[in-house]
Structure 1
Amino acid sequence: MNCEVYKGSRKEGAYLFVADSKSLENLPAALTEQLGDLEFVISFDLATRTSLASADPAEVMASIKTGGFYLQMPPGKDLETC
């Protein structure tokens, strides 16, 4: 599964994982408002990864498949306090 990662301009340390840039059109409005402008970071094949820096690849893949995205927050933070 291809995965693209974006960072938000308003939430330092928050990263959004999606299947492709077209997926950005279907994000919840509340999420995009909280994150601000999204900047592309990297694209990679998630299926070939056995680990990621701060998330389980299987969890990321499942979240993208079921909800369209995976939101990675800095440790100890949530979307409101980030």
Structure 2
Amino acid sequence: MRTVCDVYRSPREEEMYLYVDKREGIAHVPEKLLELFGRPRHLMTMLLTPEKKLARAEADGILKEIRERGYYLQMPPARDDEMRAIAAQNSKLQR
């Protein structure tokens, strides 16, 4: 299965992304999720195939979620306390 996907990033949460079928857009994303996610900001459009290599998610899992739910939500990676402390001390890592 191949799907042309739009990928949106959250303006509220760093590294949180929403994948949807380009033809459907965000129509199937629950309103409550959109409230928490914030106004989706378009990041890119891509052709997603099961064998496509992605950094933090399996393409076939994303395709399955889009097919069953109408969207896939990629959560930010977990940060442990030690990494938070390092980031807080390093001004180059702060925004």
Task: Give me the TM-score of the superposition, normalised by structure 2.
Answer: 0.73
- Computed over aligned residues only, the root mean square deviation of the Cα atoms, in angstroms, reads 1.7
Partner amino acid for 2:56? S
Number of residue-to-residue matches in the alignment? 77
Measure how far apart 1:48 and its partner are.
6.8
Q: Determine if contact 1:50/1:57 at 8 Å carries over to the other structure.
A: yes
CA contact (8 A) 2:51 2:60 kept: no
* Secondary structure at the counterpart of residue 26 of structure 1: coil
Gaps of 5+ in 1: 78-82
Higher Rg of the two aligned structures: 2
Instruction: Work out the CA distance in 1 between the residues paired with 2:6 and 2:64.
Output: 15
1:34 match: secondary structure: helix
Query: After TM superposition, which residue ranges in structure 1, 4 or more long, deviate above 3 angstroms?
Result: none
Q: Distance in 2 between matches of 1:43 and 1:64?
A: 15
- Alignment partner of 2:60 out of 36, 58, 61: 58
Partner of 2:35: 33
Cα deviation, 1:10-61, whole Å, max 9, x if unaligned, reads 1221000000164312210110000111110011110175210110000000
1:8 is matched with which residue?
A: 10
Mean CA deviation greater in 61-70 or 19-28? 19-28
Q: Which has the higher contact order (CA 8 A, sep 6+)?
A: 1
Q: Could you tell me how far apart the structure 1 residues matched to 2:72 and 2:52 are?
A: 17
